[in-house]
Amino acid sequence: MKTISIPFSPSAPPLSPLRLAFYSNNSLRFPPKSPALRVSADHYRIEVRRVSYRPPRTQHNLLSEVSFSLPEKSFGLIFGRSGSGKTTLLQLLAGLSKPTSGSINIQRYGNDGNPNGPPETLSPERVGIVFQFPERYFLADTVLEEVTFGWPRQKADLALREQLALKLQFAINSVGLNTISLEEDPHSLSGGFKRRLALAIQLVQMPDLLLLDEPLAGLDWKARADVVKLLKHLKKKLTLLVVSHDLKELSGLVDLSWKMEMGGMLKEEPLPI
C-alpha cells in the first residue's frame, strides 16, 4: 500500500512526499482502489439547449442556438474552422462566460430511461477544462505542488485530509503520473508528461465533465500517441468533450461528433476522414 503525506500547516516545509513521510501525524494511507466518481447512480447526460452567446457590447452572436447532448462516459469531438466558435463554447460549458440565452444542464436518468427529476444547471465545480498549451500556465516547482495548488494549507480535519488524499490518488493514477517522482519540476517533464500533469490538475477536482481544447497541439508523434492512449483510458472514468483539428488520431475514441460552422452553429456530423 502506497503512503503519501500532505502538509496542511502554513509552517510546513515545501510539499515533498519523501520528506513528509516522516510526518506521521499527517500521513494518509491510500486504499488500493480509486474512489468512485461523484455521479455514479443510474446515468446522466450533459444537455445543451439552444445556447447563444454574444459578448457584452458587441453586435454579433459568436454562438447561435447551439444544442447537443453528451451521454455520461462518452467522448464527444467538436471540429470546424478556426474562428468558428469552438473555444467559446468550451468556455461557456466551463462557466467562464454565461450564455446570452439557452441552458446548459446535467440530467440524470433512471434505468428505465426516464429523467430522474428535473435537470440541474451544470455548475463550474463539476467541469474541468484544459486549455491549449496548458504547460504554459504551470506555476509550481514540483508536480505535487502543481496538482495540489489551491488546497488548504491550514490544519485540516482527518475527514478532509482523507478526501483530498483520495482525490490526489485518483488524479495521479488516472494519468499515470505514479511512474515519476512527484518532486520533479513540471517544466523539466517531457511534452507528453506535461499534458498528463495538466490533466491531473483538473482530475483532482473529480469533475463530471472534462473539456479539452486541442489536446494534441504542439506535441511530437510519440507524445501525441501517448496522450491518445491516455484519453482512451480516461474515457472509461468520465465524460470528455474535445475540440480538435486532429480528427484522424482521435477518431478511434469518438462516440459523437459535431461540426461548428462559421457563425457558431453546431450540427452533428460524422468525422470527415
Ligand X SMILES: Nc1ncnc2c1ncn2[C@@H]1O[C@H](COP(=O)(O)OP(=O)(O)OP(=O)(O)O)[C@@H](O)[C@H]1O
Does residue number 87 form part of the binding site for ligand X (CB under 6 A)? yes
Does residue number 82 form part of the binding site for ligand X (CB under 6 A)? yes
Q: Which stretch binds ligand X (CB under 6 A): 19-27, 65-73, 76-84, 226-234?
A: 76-84
Does residue number 263 form part of the binding site for ligand X (CB under 6 A)? no
- Select from 45, 86, 196, 224 the one that contacts ligand X (CB under 6 A): 86
Instruction: Name the residue nearer to ligand X (CB basis): 189 or 242.
Output: 242
Q: Could you tell me the smallest distance in angstroms from the CB atom of residue 86 to ligand X?
A: 4
- Select from 20, 62, 94, 129 the one that contacts ligand X (CB under 6 A): 62
Q: Distance from first CA to last CA of the chain, Å, rounded?
A: 46
Does residue number 55 form part of the binding site for ligand X (CB under 6 A)? yes
Does residue number 83 form part of the binding site for ligand X (CB under 6 A)? yes
Does residue number 115 form part of the binding site for ligand X (CB under 6 A)? no
- Show the beta-strand stretches assigned E in the chain: 3-5, 27-29, 43-53, 63-71, 75-80, 101-109, 120-121, 127-130, 209-213, 239-243, 256-261, 265-268
- Select from 61, 88, 169, 244 the one that contacts ligand X (CB under 6 A): 88
C-alpha cell at 70: 453528451
Q: Could you tell me the smallest distance in angstroms from the CB atom of residue 33 to ligand X?
A: 38
Q: Residues in contact with ligand X, total (CB under 6 A)?
A: 11
* Secondary structure element (H or E) that encloses residue 160, with its range: helix 158-174
Instruction: Name the residue nearer to ligand X (CB basis): 184 or 249.
Output: 249
Residues ≥6 apart with Cβ < 8 Å to 75: 231, 235, 240, 242, 253, 254, 255, 256
Residue 231 three-state SS: helix
Does residue number 134 form part of the binding site for ligand X (CB under 6 A)? no
Q: CA 244 to CA 80: how far, in whole Å?
A: 8
In the DSSP assignment, the letter for residue 36 is P
Q: Could you tell me the smallest distance in angstroms from the CB atom of residue 221 to ligand X?
A: 21
Q: Are the C-beta atoms of 230 and 197 separated by less than 8 Å?
A: no
Write down the residue that cell numbers 479539452 correspond to.
Answer: 212
Does residue number 152 form part of the binding site for ligand X (CB under 6 A)? no
> Which residues would be at the binding site for ligand X (CB under 6 A)?
55, 58, 62, 80, 82-88
